[in-house]
A and B are shown apart, each in its own frame.
Chain A
Amino acid sequence: MIIGISIDENNVYVNSLGDSNVLSFPFAVGRNLSSNSWFIGEDAKNEDIDNVDIVIDKLFYIMGTDGTARIGETPYDAKELTRVFFSNLLSKFENIEYVTVTIRQSNVKYLEKIKFAMQQFFGNEDKYKVTTYSEAFVSYIKSKEKSYYSNIVSLFDFTEKALTYYELVRYVDDNNIEYWKVNTEEHLALPLDLLSGDAGKKVCDKILFDFAKKCIKEETYNHIILSGLGFEDSSYYREFMTFVCSIANVETDVYFFSKSSALLSNDVINDNFEKNVMLITDARTTASIRMNAIVNQTKTKIELIKPGEEWFNLKDNFFDVILEDDREIKIEILKVIERVIKEVPIAIPEKIELRKDKTNLFEMGFNFVEQNLVQISLADKGFGEFYESSKESTSKPVEI
């Protein structure tokens, strides 16, 4: 079974590849204190089930704030509650071949907790992927014929907590590298309660129309996709619909992201990725991090972090370097889209004595805190058993 799961602030949507149905339920956990049983989704929130004593329905909020929830006498942290949720959810399915979980936010607070939950359930990384909606959007487009995306394909996602615009732009740069870049634009959230009255519907239509006019450029668009529960009732957004229909073919799929997440699962299983395409989304690094260094007596530019890598999945970003003379290491950041180079000097802490016989070994580390914020660290490693480490280190946040 190949599964796609998308999560928004309130709900979870689950789709099995090829199935037109989507399971949808609240992102919540509940617990019966006497039997110590856990419940999730509707089962947790259903008041008719009298054996659920405590319901935690602000799970997404708790994840984002690293919060805790007290159940009986025991406080549970966000990581544990997320683990419980996914453990219960995934155990409902048999023969899972691969699962992709996507969220809108490109934020480690959510991504790390979901990754932890998946790792705890599967025990290995070969069975799951946790990423953002942008990546699922790309998989959906890739699943189509090339004519579908010969020009721009865009998407409006309208949910309880967000109104977001996505567009996939493709281009080839001067170095003949093909880029697929997902641009996003966020509007202030519109509560879906607004759609319960005629006045509210009109306001929503007007806001959607204005937002679309702001986002849609004077370019050629192939398709515009409408996703999210905000587009479920198609009767109210006439002005918006007239406008987008004048731009491109319009298709509506309220559960778009769970289905496209399942397509992404399928892409991973079949290694269905264009090797010569540089994908730039909110889940990817947008810069090349480089350094001039000596390799075999020759001055060489070493690429330490490549652009287009999933920044929150980067591992082993540690490299050993030996300092020759200077008291600083210069890092070069090349922004691939803007083609701008930024030089970042990392100074060696004053307490570290610089030896003259090339025996100052340092470990350089790159830890992405956000897509465009990397913490660069430099730790003195001494030099084997010849020189002990001073245990001194330094780190510097660098905006990409």
Chain B
Amino acid sequence: MVIYCGKSNNNPYYIKEADLNIKSIQELAYFIYNFAILISNSFITKNLILYIDNSLKLPRLASDINEMFNKKANLTDILTHILANSNFYNDEEIGQFRMRLVRLLSLPEEDYILRAGDKLFQLRKYEKAISQYSKISKGNDLALMRLAFCYAKLQFYENAANYLGELYRRTRDIDILRETYYCLKLNGTVDRIYEYDMNINETILADWEYDIVSRIIKVRKSDEMKEIEDIFLMGSSYIKDNVQSRIKIWKEKYRFIG
């Protein structure tokens, strides 16, 4: 069975909390259902109501939310009302959502922030996730680990190595040191590994080097590599088009960081 969504809408609505755009009531519902931890009281705005009315062509739902908003209704009730009218979630799923919200609100503050960071990480919003994890990184091993992953995803390997190194000093976990080594390798500063452990065994380092070489051989044979090679075989105009689209994505990310 399929869910019928009608004609697609091309106007996006920007959700500031997650730095993402949605274009349909189903995407909005999906965000509320799965990323409720990122939603604060400022989520429901006049702009969102106007968007639901004009772009999503759901005047009745917009009017309902507006009324609830003006009467200062509970945020959970408003979110639940959106889900119930989203043509996406059924009553059972909405019941589960309400229970999940109750559990979320009862979480200790550090766990809550960690979860919010994880959700942003899941959305590939690494800069926003970093700002969450940073709030609790002092003394929190999980937050340190996730900060390192975020920086690694952003290809800031020096920062990633710094966080992993700090974590290693706290835990003395050899797997953490190995990840630190990989980041330093990618950053071209592999000798810094001794800053974290002066007595590291040379045989272990040789094993890690071997592992890196094996990985390089493996990825060179991957489908993605074949796709890139195929792009180059398609001729200059095709390469230009594909490079342009990739540059656009890169620029967006670059400008966001800047």
Contacts and interface: CB of A to CB of B under 8 A. Distances in A.
Contact of B20 (A292, A296, A385): A385
- Name the prevailing secondary structure of the A interface residues: strand
B69 interface: no
A316 interface: yes
B22 interface: yes
Given A384-B24, A386-B123, A292 B8 contact: no
Nearest to A299: B1
Interface string B77-105: 00000000101101100000000000000
Contact of A361 (B5, B21, B31): B5
Contact of B22 (A293, A325, A359, A384): A384
Contacts of A322: 2-3, 5, 26, 88
B27 interface: yes
Contact of A296 (B2, B30, B87): B87
Interface residues of B, number: 24
Contacts of A323: 2
B71 interface: no
A300 B5 CA distance: 12
Contacts of A293: 1-4
Nearest to A321: B2
Given A384-B22, A386-B123, A300 B3 contact: no
B21 A385 contact: yes
Nearest to B91: A297
Interface residues of A, number: 31
A380 to B, nearest CB: 13
A47 B1 CA distance: 67
Contact of A294 (B2, B23, B27, B85): B2
A297 B85 CA distance: 9
Given A297-B90, A383-B30, A386-B30, A319 B3 contact: no
A324 B7 contact: no
A94 B2 CA distance: 53
Contacts, number: 80
Contacts of B26: 322, 358, 361
Contacts of B258: none
Contacts of B88: 322, 358
B108 interface: no
A398 interface: no
A300 to B, nearest CB: 7
Contacts of B1: 292-294, 299, 324-326
A158 B122 CA distance: 70
Contacts of A320: 5-8, 24
Contact of B4 (A319, A359, A386): A319
Contact of B3 (A357, A358, A384, A386): A358
Nearest to B88: A358
A302 interface: yes
A296 B5 CA distance: 10
A302 B4 contact: yes
Contact of A318 (B2, B7, B23, B30): B7
A319 B20 CA distance: 23
Interface in B57-72: none
A359 B34 CA distance: 12
Contact of A321 (B5, B21, B22, B123): B5
B46 to A, nearest CB: 23
Contacts of B22: 384-385
Given A294-B3, A295-B87, 18 more contacts: A291-B2, A292-B1, A293-B2, A294-B2, A296-B85, A297-B90, A319-B6, A321-B4, A323-B2, A325-B1, A326-B1, A357-B30, A358-B3, A381-B8, A384-B20, A384-B24, A384-B30, A386-B27
**7 cross-chain pairs, A with B, having the tightest CB-CB distances, nearest first:** A293-B4, A320-B5, A384-B27, A322-B3, A321-B2, A385-B20, A294-B3
Interface of B: 1-8, 20-24, 26-27, 30-31, 34, 85, 87-88, 90-91, 123
30 contacts: A293-B1, A293-B3, A293-B4, A294-B1, A294-B3, A294-B87, A295-B3, A295-B4, A297-B87, A300-B4, A316-B7, A318-B7, A318-B8, A320-B6, A321-B2, A321-B5, A322-B2, A326-B1, A357-B34, A358-B3, A358-B26, A358-B30, A358-B88, A363-B8, A383-B27, A384-B22, A384-B23, A384-B24, A385-B21, A386-B30
